[in-house]
Structure 1
């Protein structure tokens, strides 16, 4: 690389690295992961659980079984089905025979301007018991541990939170997703504070709708899910709207209380999850461009720059052994490795070391016990340029299909 190119890349990467380090240094102040807890009498009937479904028959059974193991803090479990054709409501009705807290309802036809998931959750909120103090939205693909709801509620009330969502433990099964999925997740970790940090800026708040606990009074005050009606990342959009109103919002580590099996294989992970990770529906255009710059600088570029240096080094070594190129060309190659280029190389080696350190830190967030090719998890940094490309590809496109629904 010429010195001019090296200086340009340094100008792009140095400030991004400073931002990344400022976020990582908050790590020691993180709230500890939520632990499963036993309920206490004051929690009796405080929570209404709402689950949106659309053709989830192959995935919902672990959720239903896990919810049935939650104790008396759960008043009701409302499954809002969007006219599934695979027998999903029948599974819920069968569970209702064993646990009367379960009930299933069908949401109204999707109105203009609404995305299916927030519409189902909004209907569930409107039809849930007003006697419950908390609303808990759960996705059909999560696998809750016993004590999840009690632990979540006690944490929320002890911390004075009005809204708390949890990051799960992800279940991996196939080689491709073991390699790609951690790289996609890392795009969030680079852009936002770690889970367990109380973010002070509402526009930088993170949330996860897979497990989304909110005070019922707060949700009513913001009109339910109406403020996130058209958002394909309704969880983050709604959480930020609530934070703007001055309510306390938390995003905590829930790897000890729930697991999730999101998508089957690398291709589905690329297509479905990659579509929502840009968070464009919850982000201003300037913030979106800023996040894309950060990802490009500290996640997308390091591996490419290091590989370029390796190629240059190999060329230099080869030219010395077999002088097939001219002295002038050799001199230019050697000059390209002067101070700016060496500083650039050092910076990117440092960023790659950080990346592997972050991979080690998030390892507990993955269940790889039954995964084929689980060792590919440790090579996921080599998928980083591809993950950053996925965010760029989706950042300026509106999804036309989502979770089995088609949108015009």
Structure 2
């Protein structure tokens, strides 16, 4: 019995050493990214338009059965000032009354124009095809093209702030991280854990970019110089991508464009999905970003997430039990301390990301503070997404 205990102690110590070898370098990488937080670009604020912004922006809104969500989006876009030349809604043959709703709003705002895109060509995903169609139909007199998703709620001063920031900072392409509107208990528990997978991999919005392959972007609010889109042949480089925003942004960065991903929580709100199940199914499909990444980067990022987000909670629970049972070797103590530190960092980050959430419509916002318990599940979702190719997306089926 004593020999068995010695062997078990050695096995537990070996596992602890292996975890230390994996997690210590991963922690160093994580700290290098999170420490950008204090130096990051401050959240953008609403700005009044300047006289020289007149008609500089064409807005493109892709839609497919968005009647239940597009109203607040169009209302917010109509409240943008004279910098907006046109608002092109590209509908992909919606069956829920979306076109009729858009036409009705267009009677109140002549800038709103509805077009229907052609049938999806081979090799294209629906969203980049709709955006590409809108770009081709936009005015050549506009200096910028702004892609906006139908589930967003643009706040007054959004477009002016975007343009002024892009000009001042010299961006050719800039996208915004929004403020999320969550309501149900399950959403508040799961969604922040999924969001944290992005923060851990790419740092906070407004941080310093570390090369084209680490560029982050958000297609919900995606501003690009028209001249750059002409040079890149519109959205063709992202035609087959289910994360077309990141794919296009990285492609642009490789071609020398200056790309920014900034905090837009004061300018843009979004109600993405209804409930935790839809969040798991829909958002989880593209969070791996495999369409914009090399195979090595995809699996390297997954291994990194396992080390710093998936394992800490499980490790603390497991090695605390080992400690309770008398297995008190130095590696066991070290791995327990390391993973406790990772958990404390994760809890502290809740305060950092809290401004990214609108709590005013929440029914159970207290579950937000329990979201670290969903971290292993979030990392598992990234794994599932990494090994699967979507066959359905926003009502469309793909082979």
1:157 aligned residue (142, 167, 170): 167
1:390 aligns to 2:387 (yes or no): no
Residue of structure 2 in register with 1:269 after alignment? 279
Residue of structure 2 in register with 1:11 after alignment? 21
Residue of structure 2 in register with 1:378 after alignment? 369
2:157 aligned residue (123, 147, 152): 147
Structure 1: unaligned runs, 5 residues or longer: 317-333
- The within-5 A match list for 1:110-125 is 110-125=120-135
Structure 1: how far apart are the matches of 2:39 and 2:100?
A: 46
Q: How far apart are 1:25 and its partner, in Å?
A: 1.3
Contact 2:151 2:270 in 1 (8 A): yes
Residue of structure 2 in register with 1:64 after alignment? 74
Structure 2: how far apart are the matches of 1:81 and 1:372?
A: 33
Structure 2: how far apart are the matches of 1:103 and 1:87?
A: 16
Deviations 1:20-55 (A, max 9, x none): 001111112201101011001100000000000000
Structure 2: how far apart are the matches of 1:193 and 1:303?
A: 21
Deviations 1:54-83 (A, max 9, x none): 000000000010011000000000000000
Contact 1:198 1:249 in 2 (8 A): no
Residue of structure 1 in register with 2:355 after alignment? 364
Structure 2: unaligned runs, 5 residues or longer: 1-8
Q: How far apart are 1:313 and its partner, in Å?
A: 4.5
1:211 aligns to 2:221 (yes or no): yes
Aligned CA-pair RMSD: 0.9
Contact 1:243 1:249 in 2 (8 A): yes
1:348 aligned residue (339, 346, 358): 339
1:186 aligned residue (156, 176, 196): 196
Secondary structure at the counterpart of residue 186 of structure 2: helix
Structure 2: how far apart are the matches of 1:394 and 1:247?
A: 29
Structure 2: how far apart are the matches of 1:153 and 1:90?
A: 31
1:96 aligns to 2:87 (yes or no): no
Structure 2: how far apart are the matches of 1:404 and 1:359?
A: 33
Structure 1: how far apart are the matches of 2:188 and 2:172?
A: 35
Residue of structure 2 in register with 1:319 after alignment? none
Structure 2: how far apart are the matches of 1:111 and 1:38?
A: 41
Secondary structure at the counterpart of residue 119 of structure 1: helix
Deviations 1:202-249 (A, max 9, x none): 000000000000000001100100000000000000000000001100
Structure 1: how far apart are the matches of 2:40 and 2:322?
A: 42
Q: How far apart are 1:5 and its partner, in Å?
A: 0.6
Contact 1:198 1:251 in 2 (8 A): no
Structure 2: how far apart are the matches of 1:61 and 1:344?
A: 51
Secondary structure at the counterpart of residue 311 of structure 2: helix
Structure 1: how far apart are the matches of 2:385 and 2:243?
A: 13
Secondary structure at the counterpart of residue 115 of structure 2: strand
Contact 1:53 1:81 in 2 (8 A): yes
Give the total of aligned pairs: 389
Structure 1: how far apart are the matches of 2:323 and 2:26?
A: 27
